[in-house]
Structures are given as C-alpha cells and as structure tokens.
Structure 1
Amino acid sequence: MKLLPLARQAEVTNGWLRERLRAVLPEVMRRARVDLWLVVAREYNEDPVLPSLLPAPMMGARRRTMLVFHAPEGGAFEALAIANAGVGLDGFYTPMWDKTMLAEAAEDQWACLRRVVAERNPKRIGVNVSAEIAFADGLSKSEHDALMAALGPELAARCVSAEEVVVGWLSRRLEGEIEAADGINALAHGLIAEAFSPRVVHPGVTTAVEVAWWLRERARSLGLGCWFQPSVSIQRRGEHLGDLGSSPDAVIRRGDLLHCDFGLHYLGLATDTQQNAYVRRLGESGPPAGMVAALAKAKWQQELLAAEMVIGRSGNEVLRAARAAMARAGLEGRIYTHPIGYHGHGAGPMIGRYDNQEGLPGAGELRLQDATLFSFEMFVEHALPEWDGQRIKLATEQCVAFRGGEVHFLGGRQTAWHLI
C-alpha cells in the first residue's frame, strides 16, 4: 500500500480548501442567513472547526488566530485573516492586520477585528457558541467575553449562533473529496482483511487485544493515524468474553466469531469501519449456515436504512422510518449512524445512538443535505442454530456517500465473512 508523500498530501488538501472556500462556504453562509462569520481561537485551545479552515502545513492557531468570512447577499465573498504575518495563511486569506514577529501593529488585534466588522456592517454575525452542537461551541468563555467587548453593544447585539454554518461547512463534501473517500475506505478495508487473516491471527496463540494493537501499529507503519483505539471482540459458543468494542486478552479459538472496529485519518478525512470474521474449525471450508444468514440480515439492515435516507428528512425521521422497516422485516437490532468527514463522529444529522433509539434533541433534528458522508453503524441480533440457539450481535459499520439523493457504499462492502 503506497500513500502520498506529505508534501503531495498538502497539495491535495490545500486544493480542496481553496475550492471549498470558493464554492461551499458562501453557499452555506447564505443559506443560514449569516453574512459574517467569526472564528476566533487561541493556541492550545483550538476551536474544533479551526483545523478544517487552515491550509497545510499550518497545524493550529498561532498565539491568537482570527478568521473573518463575509458573504453579503449580492456581494463578493471575502476570507480575511487577523493574525500574525507569516504563520501560513497567506494565499488563502487576505491579511487585515500588519503585525509581524518583529513589529507591532498600529492597532491591537481586537481593535482590528472591530474595524473590519464595522466596515462591513453585517446584519447577522455568526459566532461559535452552541448548547447542542459541540462543533459550533468552540468559542471559549474568555474569548467570547473579549469578543463581545471588542465588538461593542451595537455589533454584539447582531451576533447569533453559527451552528448552521459550522455544520454545513464541516459536512458538505466536494466531488473530489468523495472520490478520495472511496479509496481511503478501500485502504481501511484492506488493513482489516490483512488483520483477519492467518498472517496475523494464529488460532490457539493470538489474543484479541494483540490483533487490535496490530491494526494500530500497521496503520502507524504506513504513516496513518487512528482516531480511536481499534478494538477486536470475540463471540464464542457458550461463553461471554465481553461486549462489542472490547478487546479481551483471551486467546482466539477455532469456531470464534471476531468483530473489529477501526478508524483512520488520511487526507483530512476519517474512516470508521466494523467488519466480522469467522475462525474455521478444522475441516470447515466456510462459516456455518447460521452465520451466513446473520450476515445477510446485516446487509439487509443497511439497505433498509439506505432506502430511508431522503434529502430534507431529519435524522430522527430517518431513524423512525428505518426502525419501522426493520420491524416489518422481522429484524431485531439497533441503528446508531453518524455523519463522518473531518471528524470521525462528524457534524450533521445523527440517526440514533446505541443507547437511544427514540430520537435525539439537537443533532437528531438536523436535516439531511446532499453531498455528505455517513458512517452506517448498526447491529442485528440472530439466534445461531449451530450454537444451540445462542444469540449473537452482528455489528457492521460502513462509510457511505449520500449524493444525488442516493447512498453509495465507499471502498466496497463486506458481503462475505472474512475467513481465518
């Protein structure tokens, strides 16, 4: 598996940033009726949206970084920076402050911000404060107080939550990003296939936790990061070895059902994948018929959810419709699907949670938009005849693109058991 050199990765992601600032953000702001958006963050206390707005190789705020976006109705869009010169924003943002590392500016940073905002005289100013959406709540208490003081009463009174802008910016994907996400997910699937193979798993010797750490080490060897610790779970006839998502220090045996949860970051995009493997008993050529039937149910569950994904529906509406479809089909299980993108658990409409199948306030009320990515996360329960009717949870997670009102499975899809 060959990944792009870091410099080439920067070229790709910077190209996406230029296009997103040109084509995505103005549309998102105008849809939200926010004609000016402020992102203010200090070094080591990053706003969660800030990294998505910074070109590579800039890795975070420098001292205090202020970004101003102006999208007036009928006027030209502006992306402005109020930050020290030479920190990496040049070419993407128009500099509005003349402070360098060696020379002080004629006005301080907050005074510059007030001047820039006042000159544009916006009707609605979006700021990152939100009770429901964490991605839109990145303005710390002290920075919020300083911002309101700098703006003064008249401009401060025009400030509104930038929730809709933040969610739209983080969730909307370019066509090039969707194409790249397909390959990135294929890479993740390939690493899982390698983990669930005799190259890694030696029945009677290897433990589940060793396979989980192998996935983490293998990703690192390729120069990739995991955004959470991988897990490898075991389900075994007649025994309970921990819930899904655990990595027991138990030796893998023939006849076991293995499950993994694995997420990468590459080119600024996250993956999140759960797949399943069967460790064949001596003399077996494949999984028992009951396991084949269980995987067919899991695929059906994914398809029932895909059929309910409709532009304009809320996450809660999709959840209710999909659960009703499951009930009609006689499928038992849960759906806890989430957006994915810059963040693994991304911005946008949540479709259930593992511990909440009734609907969610806030994120569950957000509505599906086109050109977005989701991680279809769910499980079905199935009684295995070969295990004397013991019930198993077959959990799957598959990244999809929601584009043109249709669901596209990214990087292929698990349609058969990994066999060890």
Structure 2
Amino acid sequence: MTLVAPDPTRTVPLPLREQADVRDRWLTQRLLDLLPTLMDRAGIDLWLVIGREYNEDPVLPTLLPATWLSARRRTILALHRSDDGVTAAAVSRYPVGQFVPAWSPDEDAGVPAEESQWAVVRRIVEQADPRRIGVDVSAEFALADGLSHTEHELLGAALGPYADRLTSAEELAIGWLETRLPEEIAVLHGLNRLAHEVIAEAFSPAVVTVGASTALDVAWWIRQRFADLGVDGWFQPTVGLQRAGVPLVEERGTTLPAVPYDAVIEPGDLLHCDVGLSSLGLNTDTQRNAYVLRPGETEAPAGLRAAMAAGNRMQDVTTAAMVPGRTGNEVLAAARATAAAAGLDGDVYSHPVGYHGHAAGPAIGMWDAQTGVPGAGDRPLHLDTVYALELCVRTPVPEWGGQTVRMALEQGISLTAAGVEYLDGRQTELILIPGA
C-alpha cells in the first residue's frame, strides 16, 4: 500500500495497520473541520446516514472506521449541527469508532432490537428538534441516493410528525464526498506518482516485447502489477493501439481506434492506456500515451508530437475555464469555445475523483454529451476538490498520410485557492518504446 512520504512526489510502502490509523485520523479531522461548514452550506441541521450490511449507502463507508469494511446489521449515523460543531452519534448494535454510542440494545429487555433502534432515532430527533433533517435521496446523483426504499419507509414511520422535516441531503452528501483535506491532496500526489510509475514500466521493454506482446497482455500486466504492489484497481485497465493505415471508426457518436485489443504490438504503433488505482480510500484515473519506435527512429514522428502538444493545449484551455462557482456545464462551454477559436478539434469529459473513481461533484461534459450534462453538469465547482482532467483531440498526422489520430489524455488535478495543480505533473511527451 502507499502513503506519501515527506516528499509528496514519493510513495513508500505502508502496512495495513498504519493505513487504518491514517484513515481514522482523516475522518476525525473531516468531522471537525469540514462537516460543520458543509452542513451550514446545505442548510441541514441533522444528517441521518442509514445502511444495512451489504446494502450500504455509498456515503456510509466514508464515515465508518477503517476497520469496518461494511455496515454491521443496520447502522444508523446521526450527525447533528449545533453551536459547538457537529455531534456524531451512532445508533448501532456495535460501537462505531469515534461516534458516540446512542443505543444499548442489551438494556432493552423484551423489546425487538430493530424497533428499539428506531425509537432511539426518534428520541435523537426530538431532542435536537432540527428544522431540516437530511437523508440521502437524490434524483441526479447516485452517490447521494443511498437511502433504500425500505429504510426510508421505516424512518418515516418512526419519526411520525417529524417526518415532514425530512429533505434531500444531496448538497451535503456531494459536498462531503468531493471535498478533500490538504493531506488527502498530498497523498493523491503520491498515488498519481505510483500510477505514472506503473504506466512507465508497462510501456517499456520490461513488459512490451514488440512483435509478440498484445495490448491486452499489457493491460493484464498493469492489473497484476497493482495487485503485487498491494493496491486495487477500481476498473479493468485498458490498453489500445492506433496504427498507420488503420483509420479511426465512428462508433456510438464518437471516433475510436479500430485496431483490436489482441493485435500484436508493432513498430510505429501509438499505444494508449486508461488505468485507475485505489488506496487509503482514494482513487486515481490516468491515461497516457506511448510510441513504438521504428528502426532508425530516435523520436516519434512530428505529427504525433504535435498531437500531444494539441492535447496539452486542450488541457490548458479546460483548466483555465475551471473557475470556482462556475457550473460544470459552464466550464465545458467555455473550454470548447476557446478550443474552437484556437482550431482545436476535441472533446472534454472530465469528472471528479476521490472516494470513488467517477466521483461526486460537477460533471464537465461526457464523451456523448458535449453540449452539457443535465443535472450533474449544473453543479458548481468548489475549492479543495480533485478531478480527473479527461479529454481528447483529433489531429491529422502527415507522416501517416494525413490519417487522423485521437490523442486522449487523463490526469489528476486539484482545485484549491492556489489554483489548478497537476497531481505529480502531466504528460507532455510521448513515452518511447524501442522497436527491437
């Protein structure tokens, strides 16, 4: 597993027990430093996060101790905003880390545990007398829609007249999931560094045997490498090829490479990967590109290098548009307008990344929604958030007879008061793989 050393560009092994200590420390800090402001912003006085074992609200694992790998039976967390901060109580059969235990079912002789549990929730609500009780229901964001139908009905029945105060906690849930501590951002520098190191190794003679290895071989090597390093991949890595003489194809409204994944890698090929790793409860999402040198070549053709430079320009116009307070759709429109004026042919489909790979927060386009994303794209950008800057450009390559190449890039970035920062830097030059 990985954690950032004093130098945030380095990753070092970290035992699981120490990982748990770090994650629990982060949780305490987040409850103290972030949650009061987020509750005030959302106008929520009491937040109820409820889930049952194997049917957890997506928010629930981000509030549980690191040693809790899932909910236990029915787990109910009550977070009450008061003048003193946030009181975090657990209505649970078992103690829940730093949450104040609010229920001792063994003391309720003769009363079914489930009924007693809901009665405690009712007492908490009566004592807090909140104006607005937030629950995780949302029509737009799956990550904020974790309260199951059954739990919603049982909660409403238990609250009686207080059920009229229930409201969607969408704003609060998304804010909690998307907002990062400075230390979490520092760790994400290290995790992105690890992803970059694995990609560099994958796109090298240590892994690629030109004329024998396939793109699929390389993808599976990346996944195995993550496992050997003790980190998880949150999706199956992909590696694709573009090749002179094999033009892009139109598929599902976009242009995609036509070389099969099981094709053998040959000199002159352009390789692309898409990988994401998970560690310490955080995720990365990265795409990088490599070129297989032909005999006698010492660098990639100028047309491919120009395509990489165009991709970097597309990154620049997108990050320049990422102004806090703008919605994802406004960022998308501004970036595409600037790109068009600069003669760039490309698409933007960036997204938040954090507790989840495709994480909570504003969508900045989708590959099949370049005029805006209803709902998710209408959410504004906030400071102290992290994104996967994902996009592509399409550029003709003279050395390939004018054939168009799709240069796709994806890189972790943070958005803070200091502006946009690339997490462990971005790719500006193609990785070169010797052809023999």
Task: Pick the TM interval, shorter chain.
Answer: over 0.9
Q: Distance in 2 between matches of 1:76 and 1:269?
A: 26
Aligned in 2, Cα 1:100/1:414: closer, same or farther, shift over 3 Å? Answer: farther
Q: Does 1:229 align with 2:236?
A: yes
Counterpart in the other structure of 2:376 = 363
* Contact 2:363–2:377 (8 Å) recurs in 1: yes
Distance between the aligned counterparts of 1:403 and 1:341, measured in 2? Answer: 15
- Secondary structure at 2:34's aligned position in 1? helix
Deviation string 1:280-337 (CA, Å, 9 cap, x unpaired) is 0011111011111111100111011111111100000000000001011100010000
Among 281, 292, 299, the residue aligned to 2:312: 299
The superposition leaves residues 330-355 of structure 1 with CA deviations (integer Å, 9 ceiling, x where unpaired) of 00010000011000001011100000
Is 2:274 aligned against 1:266? no
For the aligned residue pairs, the C-alpha RMSD in angstroms reads 1.8
Superposition pairs for residues 93-112 of structure 1, below 5 Å?
A: 93-99=99-105, 108-112=116-120
Q: 1:345 aligns with which of 350, 354, 358?
A: 358
Structure 1 320/104 Cα, relative in aligned 2: closer, same or farther at 3 Å? farther
Contact 2:80 2:86 in 1 (8 A): yes
Distance 1:12 1:336, change over 3 A: same
Q: Map Cα deviations across residues 267-288 of structure 1 (whole Å, 9 max, x no partner).
A: 1110000000000001111101
C-alpha distance in 1, partners of 2:29/2:258?
38
Alignment of 1:375-386 (within 5 A): 375-386=388-399
Give 1:411 shift: 1.3
Partner of 1:41: 51
CA displacement at 1:75 relative to structure 2: 4.2
AA at the equivalent of 1:406: G
- 2:335 aligns with 322
Identify if the C-alpha distance between structure 1 residues 247 and 226 changes in structure 2 by more than 3 Å, giving closer, same or farther: farther
Task: Name the aligned partner's letter for residue 110 of structure 1.
Answer: W
Q: Post-superposition shift, 1:165?
A: 0.3
Tell me how far apart the structure 1 counterparts of residues 141 and 86 of structure 2 sit (CA, whole Å).
Answer: 26
**CA 1:253–1:246 in 2, change beyond 3 Å: closer, same or farther?**
closer
Q: Is the 8 Å Cα contact of residues 247 and 404 (structure 2) preserved in structure 1?
A: no
Q: CA deviation at 1:84?
A: 1.1
What do residues 74-105 of structure 1 show as CA deviations (whole Å, max 9, x unaligned)? 3442001000134xx13x10000012599877
Q: What is residue 161 of structure 1 aligned with on the other side?
A: 168
Q: Secondary structure at the match of 1:180?
A: helix
Q: Give 2:189's aligned amino acid.
A: D
| Per-residue deviation, 1:151 | 0.8
Q: Does 1:50 align with 2:60?
A: yes
- Displacement of 1:415 in angstroms is 1.3
User: Is the 1:255–1:278 Cα contact (8 Å) retained in structure 2?
Assistant: yes
Any idea what SS the aligned residue of 2:13 has?
coil
The separation in 2 between residues aligned to 1:245 and 1:147, in whole angstroms, is: 52
Residue aligning to 1:175 = 182
Say whether the 8 Å CA contact 2:247–2:257 is kept in structure 1.
no
CA distance in 2, matches of 1:319, 1:369: 16
Gaps of 5+ in 2: 1-10, 250-255
Superposed CA deviations along residues 6-35 of structure 1, whole A, max 9, x for unmatched, are 011111111110000101111101111100
In the alignment, what sits opposite 2:7? none
Cα distance, 1:109–1:244 mapped onto 2, change above 3 Å:
farther
Q: Shift of the alpha carbon at 1:239?
A: 1.7
Task: Note if contact 1:195-1:214 (Cα within 8 Å) is conserved in structure 2.
Answer: yes
- Contact between 1:370 and 1:405, CA under 8 Å: does it hold in 2? no
Instruction: Measure, in 1, the Cα distance between the counterparts of 2:248 and 2:352.
Output: 30
Counterpart AA for 1:64: R
User: SS at 1:165's partner residue?
Assistant: helix
Q: Aligned AA for 1:268?
A: G
Taking the aligned partners of 1:101 and 1:353, their CA distance within structure 2 comes to: 53
1:139 matched to which residue of 2? Answer: 147
Shift of 1:245: 11
Structure 2 CA distance for partners of 1:344 and 1:362, relative to 1, 3 Å: same
Greater CA drift, 23-32 or 245-254 = 245-254
Partner-residue secondary structure (3-state), 1:147: helix
Asked if structure 2 preserves the Cα contact closer than 8 Å seen for 1:185 and 1:271, the reply is: yes
Aligned residue pairs: how many? 415
Choose the corresponding residue for 2:198, options 180, 191, 196: 191
- TM-score, reference length from structure 1: 0.96
SS at match of 2:210: coil
Distance in 1 between residues matched to 2:323 and 2:199, nearest whole Å = 31
The one-letter code of the counterpart of 1:196 is F
Between the aligned partners of 2:127 and 2:235, the Cα distance in structure 1 is 44
Does structure 2 retain, via aligned residues, the 8 Å contact 1:304–1:325? yes
Show structure 1 runs of 4+ deviating over 2 A.
99-107, 240-247
SS of the residue corresponding to residue 322 of structure 2 reads coil
Determine which of 214, 223, 230 is the counterpart of 1:216. 223
Relative to structure 1, the CA distance from residue 173 to residue 348 in structure 2 (aligned partners, 3 Å threshold; closer, same or farther) is same
CA distance in 2, matches of 1:246, 1:405: 42
Identity within the alignment, %: 52
2:31 alignment partner AA? L
**TM-score normalised according to structure 2 size:** 0.92
**In structure 2, what is the equivalent of residue 12 of structure 1?**
22
SS in 2 for 1:157: helix
Q: CA deviation at 1:244?
A: 5.4
Following superposition, the deviation at residue 118 of structure 1 comes to 1.2
**Mean alpha-carbon deviation: is it higher for 237-246 or for 185-194?**
237-246
Provide the C-alpha distance between the structure 2 equivalents of 1:321 and 1:366, rounded to a whole number of angstroms: 15
Q: Aligned partners of 1:181, 1:309: CA distance in 2, in Å?
A: 19
Unpaired runs of 5+ residues, structure 1, are none
